[in-house]
Amino acid sequence: MTASPPIRLGLTGYGYAGKTFHAPLIRATPGLELAAVTSRDAGKVHADLPGVRVHETPAALIADDSLDVVVIATPNDTHAPLAADALRAGRHVVIDKPMALNLAEARSLVALAERSAGQLSVFHNRRWDSDYLAVKQAIDEGAVGEVMHFESHIDRYRPTVRDRWRESSAPGAGIWYDLGPHLVDQALQLFGLPERVHAALAIQRAGGLSDDWAHVRLDYGARQVIVHASMLAAGGARRFVVHGTRGSLVKAGADRQEAQLLAGLSPGAPGWGEDPDPLTVIDAQGHAHTLPLAAGDQRRYYAALRDAIASEAPWPVAPIEALAVMAVIDAGFASQREGCAVALPLSGAERATFATGHDQSA
C-alpha cells in the first residue's frame, strides 16, 4: 500500500509565534510537511529549517499552488486580510489567535469560508495544555460538584516594555488581544457562552503603550468566571482556582510547553509536556489531596487538522468557536469603554450554532 503524501503547509511569518510554536509543532506531527515560510530574512529561516522554501511576501506564499494549508502567524492586524486572501485562493487556513481585530472581521471570514473550497480554523493551542486538561477532567468527573467560581490567570513578570508590535500602540496590540483569547477559549469550552462580560483593562508599566493588565468577569448567573492576565506578577499567582458545591481545585503552576519550546526541546522528545506540579483537590471537609497530571501536547491541534483534511474528521477549532471568542474580546473592550457589564454581541443563530457544537463536544 502506498503511503499518502504529506499535507503541505506554508507559514506566513517567522517571528515569535511562527518560530516558537507553529514551525516545531508542524514538523513534529506525522503526515504534515512544513514546505514554505514567508520571511524577509531567508538566512534566518534556512539556519533553522534547511530545505524549506522561503517566500518574500505573504502574497507569494498564498499563490504557491503546491500548498494545502496556509498558517498565518503575522501581526494581529494582518490576520483577517491574509486569511481572506488565502481562502479566496482555495487554501485551508489556520490563523494564530486572535482570529481578527473585531467581531465584524471575524464574521466576514466565517462567511467567506462557508463559500470557499478551503476550511478555516484558529490556533487555540492551549486547549492541549496540561494544566487546563487536568482542571477540565476534574470538573467533568464532578470533583467539586457544580462549579460556582472559576479563576484562570496568566500572570508574568516583565516589568520592562519591549520594543515589539505586541506591546506597541498599533491595532491588535495589548494583553487582552494577546492572552485574552487563550483564557476566553478555555472558559467557553468549559462553560459555554456567558450572559454578560465585565472588563477592566489598564496600562500599569512605565512607558506602556497598550493594556498590560486585564481582569475580566464572565457572568453566567450564579456561576462567575474570572479571567486575568498581567505583566507585573513576580510570584504568588495561581494558574487556576475553582470553587464548587462539593469542594475546590487549585492548580498553581502553568503548562511547560512554551518554556520547553523556548529551551529548544523538540515536541515529542522525552519529557515533552510533562507537568511536575500536581492538581490539588480540597473536599467539603477541607481535606486536600493531589492528583498527578497527564502530559500536555499541543501537537494534537495539528494532528487533528491533519485528520480533518485527510478524512473529514472534525476540525480542531471550529469557526463558530473562534467567532465566539472574538465576541467576548469585543465585549471586553466595550465594557472597558462604557464602565459596565455588556451583553455578548452574538445573534440568535450564532448562539444556536455554538451551542450545537458545544453540546456535541461535551
| Distance, CA of 128 to CA of 301 (rounded, Å) | 8
Its pTM stands at 0.96
- CA 322 to chain CA centroid, Å, is 9
Cα dist from 114 to 87, 108, 210, 225, whole Å: 10, 10, 34, 32
Q: Which class would CATH give 7-123?
A: alpha beta
Q: How is the beta sheet containing 223-230 ordered, strand by strand?
A: 288-291, 279-283, 247-251, 240-244, 147-155, 223-230, 213-220, 196-202, 342-343
115: amino acid identity, one letter: R
**Per-domain residue ranges of the chain:** 7-123, 130-296+327-361
pLDDT of residue 236: 83
Return the CATH superfamily for domain 130-296+327-361: Dihydrodipicolinate Reductase; domain 2 (3.30.360.10)
pLDDT digits 0-9 by tens, 230-255: 999 998 889 999 999 999 999 999 99
Spans of the chain below 70 pLDDT: 1-2, 359-362
pLDDT of residue 360: 63
pLDDT of residue 4: 84
78: amino acid identity, one letter: T
| Distance, CA of 230 to CA of 87 (rounded, Å) | 35
Length of the chain: 362
Radius of gyration of the chain (CA): 20
Q: What is the DSSP letter of 255?
A: P
pLDDT of residue 361: 66
Q: How, if at all, do strands 69-72 and 342-343 pair? A: unpaired
pLDDT of residue 115: 96
Q: How, if at all, do strands 147-155 and 223-230 pair? A: parallel
pLDDT of residue 194: 98
Q: By C-alpha distance, which of 333, 351, 350 is closest to 342?
A: 333
